[in-house]
Amino acid sequence: MDLQNRPLKKRPLFSNRLSIITVAAGSAIGLGNIWKFPYITGKNGGAAFIIVYLCCIALIGLPVLISDFMIGRRGGKNVVGSFRALAGDRSPWLFGGFIALFGSATVLSFYGVVAGWSLGYVVKAVSNGFAGKSPAEVGAMFNDFVTSPIAPIAYQLIFMSITAGVVYAGVKKGIEAFSKVMMPILIGIIVLLCIRSLTLPGAEGGIAFLFKPDFSKLSAAGVLDALGHAFFTLSLGVGTMITYGSYIDKDENLATTALQICIADTVIALLAGIAIFPAVFAFGVEPGQGPGLVFVTLPNIFVQMPGGYFFCILFFLLLAVAALTSSISMLEVSVAYASEDLGISRKRATLFLTALISGVGIICSLSLGQYRESLTLFGKNFFDLADFAVSNVEMPIGGAISVLFIGWVLKRQKSEEELTCHGKIKVPLIAAFIFTAKYLAPVGIAIVFLHSLGVI
Ligand code: PHE
């Protein structure tokens, strides 16, 4: 049987606008917002970096997100199938689909490891594991935990099993229903944490750090970090938003939806900053702490803070919840492909792909510990290599393919049909969008990409 042309079961669609935004914002809002954004902001000096980051979201992230949605909805299939439906069976553009498949699986492999740490830290927080420890001891505890061979892997596998369970249940009954419960919880927790942080004496220093720009602290590397992070935080270039786009009803306004998702994602990143930096300043800690900010600096602060026991639990719960609504979107990319194009049932595909991706994740986790020597390639351990390969290489390439496809390949008339829902709605700035997709975004991405590889 020709599997690619076999009659497909009717594809599911997200129920309504609110569902689309909840699910897609659930994908966008994740460890990127709560773990990565605060520490790269800290590293790059605060407010000036945030301004550059906002420009990257508006000028490049938003157009790529709209392009991903257009490809998915117009193609009406998984990431490879959508390119195939729009460009033809043997088109080189199919490469865009396959590289996205690879990217989504790779990102999930190391993401599951960090998400596992968050689960582990929920347990440590509940058992009051940080109490009475000196900052150096909390640092050593993190180091011992992530380099140990069993515990982080056990938590990673628990996390991956929950992810698989949600995807296994399907697009509507699993992904949509789960996100609708989790996202309000996430917002509730982050607001509580912000209130706690802002009411600490000395919180103003953190607010000034976040909102008073000092451009002398911004470097070229900071600009690169900003663009790379814009991709990561909006889940771009790995097929997630193409796959989710294929579940969006044909009457939805894609541009507005994409804009709302960008706003939601940015607001949560800023709230994460507000939950963290005022507390960091109130306790006189250095803001530029790097990746350990959340797992080392914060537990140290929580132990000194009134009510810190509960806020510590809430914080790591927040990380785990945010990570889950993102990891399901990563797994859905390859599950949708395998079940539609390879003729494997959705349930089997979920089980098989989860096992495969978790296996790679285990290698990433082990590469941080005692197997570091043997699990190193190109001078990087597997964990860093997976992060680098996705964030710095695959995502920019995948994102560029989407905008180039919309800018140069899909006929202008078809793009307009997609954006205006076949003329039913009026959408401003279409010409500006197409111009951005054709020139601005690809050139911006190319510069950053070449720079990150050290070519320019
Ligand atoms: N956007 C997610 C975050 O910020 C990460 C992600 C990347 C999700 C790629 C899906 C695909 O944590």
Q: Which residue's CA is the closest to the ligand 1 atom numbered 7?
A: 235
Q: What is the mean pLDDT of each run of 10 residues along the chain (456 residues)?
A: 54 95 98 92 90 95 98 98 96 97 97 96 97 92 94 98 98 97 96 95 94 88 86 96 98 97 97 94 83 88 93 96 98 98 96 98 93 78 88 91 97 95 94 96 90 77
Q: How far apart are CA 227 and CA 447, in angstroms?
A: 10
Q: What DSSP state is assigned to residue 12?
A: P
Mind giving me the DSSP string for 73-91? HHH-SSHHHHHHHHH-TT-
What is the distance in A from the centroid of ligand 1 to the CA of 74?
Answer: 23
* Confidence (pLDDT) at 289: 72
Q: How far apart are CA 149 and CA 338, in angstroms?
A: 31
* Confidence (pLDDT) at 176: 97
Cβ–ligand 1 contact at 240 (below 6 Å): yes
User: Coil, helix or strand for 380?
Assistant: strand
* Confidence (pLDDT) at 8: 53
What is the distance in A from the centroid of ligand 1 to the CA of 27?
Answer: 6
Pick from 102, 101, 108, 107: nearest CA to 77: 101
Cβ–ligand 1 contact at 103 (below 6 Å): no
Cβ–ligand 1 contact at 399 (below 6 Å): no
Can you name the residues that pair with 377 across neighbouring β-strands? 380
List for the chain the helix, strand, coil content (%; round to 5): 75, 0, 25
Find out whether 276 and 371 touch, Cβ atoms under 8 Å: no
* Domains along the chain with CATH numbers: 20-452 (1.10.4160)
What is the distance in A from the centroid of ligand 1 to the CA of 372?
Answer: 26
* Confidence (pLDDT) at 1: 43
Q: Which residue's CA is the closest to the ligand 1 atom numbered 6?
A: 235
Q: How far apart are CA 265 and CA 134, in angstroms?
A: 35
- Amino acid identity of residue 116, one-letter, is G
Write the Ramachandran bin of 285: left for phi over 0, alpha for psi from -120 to 50, otherwise beta.
Answer: beta
Pick from 12, 109, 399, 423: nearest CA to 253: 423
Q: How far apart are CA 376 and CA 113, in angstroms?
A: 17
* 119-143 residue pLDDT tens: 999 999 999 999 999 989 999 999 9
- Amino acid identity of residue 334, one-letter, is S
What is the distance in A from the centroid of ligand 1 to the CA of 29?
Answer: 7
Q: How far apart are CA 132 and CA 431, in angstroms?
A: 60
What is the distance in A from the centroid of ligand 1 to the CA of 52?
Answer: 20
Mutate to test the pocket of ligand 1, among 64, 175, 190, 326 (most ligand atoms within 8 A of CB): 326
N-term to C-term CA, the chain: 49
Q: How far apart are CA 17 and CA 305, in angstroms?
A: 40
Take residue 343 and report the two structure tokens written for it. Answer: 């003729």
Mutate to test the pocket of ligand 1, among 27, 65, 238, 265 (most ligand atoms within 8 A of CB): 27
Cβ–ligand 1 contact at 325 (below 6 Å): no
Cβ–ligand 1 contact at 333 (below 6 Å): no
256 class by beta-carbon count within 10 Å (0-12 exposed, 13-18 middle, 19+ buried): middle
Pick from 247, 332, 243, 184: nearest CA to 20: 247
